Amino acid sequence: MTVSTLSRRTLLAGGSVLTLAGRASAQAAPTLLNVSYDPTREFYREFNTAFAAHWTGQGHPRQTINTSHGGSGRQARSVIDGLAADVVTLALAYDIDAIAERGLLGRDWQKRLPHNSAPYTSTIVFLVRRGNPKAIRDWGDLLKPGVAIITPNPKTSGGARWNYLALWAWALRQPGGSAATAEQAAAQLFRQVPVLDTGARGSTTTFVQRAQGDVLLSWENEAHLALQEFPQAGLEIVYPPLSILAEPPVAVVDQNVDRRGTRAVAEAYLNHLYTEEGQRIAAKHFYRPREAAILQANASRFPDIELVTIDAVFNGWAEAQRTHFADGGVFDRIYRPGR
């Protein structure tokens, strides 16, 4: 038994070293951590530089801004588990609601900033191979036999939930459309998905780099970025006549900023998203700006299609989540891998 005490002592010694390291890193100069979702990588890289310059320009010390990216649901889970995010900039309100439910920020978070705390919007479009060989122009064309569709998993990806809800909204609009026909359409769609990645960026790589599938259901900004990054890949964007208005929201995580003393800079960071500079950078990275003048100036990149809202069709995120994506919801019923 000497050995078990020996290794226990080793563990304890190791543990106290680790604890010291943990304390040291917690007390280092206050950095700002933005926990975001997958396709915002390029946007926030540029925005962080702009904000840091703005912040020092106002006489504050130099501010380091860190970012973390991943599937929106998974990122929310990490914040709940203790990832010390000062601000969260996620794909949908429900994921921030989930963090608020654990008391990390006030439940009224969405009323604190203009436009439902969503400084930019986006929508869901189709990315197809050049010449659109499968003639995909509307949601109905996706369900034709022989069309392979790439989308991430709605359980882990915010973008995938918007994909799913946009299809559902389209199906309700069809003659004789009802919850039952919409469920059939969704079931059919997921039968035609060969690869279900966990995040939007994974799906884009699957479609573009590995050349899987005929159509990628994608964030508008992610689709434009793919065209820009892979001019040789032979891709086109198709705008369906109807899609969904995606409002990716942002919020300060009260409990974390109050503990770390970063509230002022965190609030300034989010407010900067609404300024002319922030809106311009958003538009540059293919997020639809809220500022009418900047949207107008970029009208050619953001075609005017009919966008339905989650509040009008699904009565808000809480209900959409409960009905469709919670355990035992519609998605669980229709998606049976390997069947």
Partner 1 sequence: MSGAARPAAADPAWVRRLVIAAALALAVVIFLMPLAAVFNEALRRGIEPALAAIVEEDAQAAIWLSLLVAAIAVPVNTIGGIAAAWAVAKFDFVGKRLLITLIELPFSVSPVISGLVYVLLFGAQGFFGTWLRDHDIQIIFALPGLVLATIFVTFPFVARTLIPLMQEQGRDEEEAAATLGAGGWQIFRRVTLPNVKWALLSGVLLCNARAMGEFGAVSVVSGHIRGQTNTMPLHVEILYNEYMFVGAFAVASLLALLGVVTLIAKALLEVLAGRRMGEAA
Phi, psi dihedrals of residue 273, rounded to the nearest 5°: -65, -25
Q: Which is nearer to partner 1, 73 or 289 (CB)?
A: 73
Smallest distance from partner 1 to CB 82, Å: 3
Binding residues with partner 1: total (CB under 8 A): 40
3-state secondary structure of 34: strand
Smallest distance from partner 1 to CB 64, Å: 8
Alpha-carbon torsion, ordered 52, 54, 56, 57, to 10 deg: 160
3-state secondary structure of 192: coil
Binding status of residue 159 toward partner 1 by CB under 8 A: no
3-state secondary structure of 259: helix
The DSSP annotation for 84-151 comes to --SEEE-S-HHHHHHHHHTTSS-TTGGGSSTGGG-SEEB-EEEEEETT-TT---SHHHHTSTT--EE-
Contact 223, 239 (CB under 8 A): no
The pair of structure tokens assigned to 138 is 């509307």
Alpha-carbon torsion, ordered 102, 106, 108, 109, to 10 deg: -100
Residue numbers 259-318 binding partner 1 by CB under 8 A:
259
Smallest distance from partner 1 to CB 17, Å: 7
Q: Which is nearer to partner 1, 202 or 213 (CB)?
A: 202
Q: Indicate which single residue of 52, 80, 235, 313 sits in contact with partner 1 (rule: CB under 8 A).
A: 80
Q: Indicate which single residue of 78, 116, 132, 181 sits in contact with partner 1 (rule: CB under 8 A).
A: 78
Smallest distance from partner 1 to CB 330, Å: 27
Give the x-and-dash track for 28-57 against partner 1 (CB under 8 A). Answer: ---x-x----x--xx---------------
Please report, as ranges, the residues that interact with partner 1 according to CB under 8 A.
1-4, 6-7, 10-11, 14, 17-19, 21-23, 25-26, 31, 33, 38, 41-42, 66-70, 78, 80-84, 102, 201-202, 205, 229-230, 259
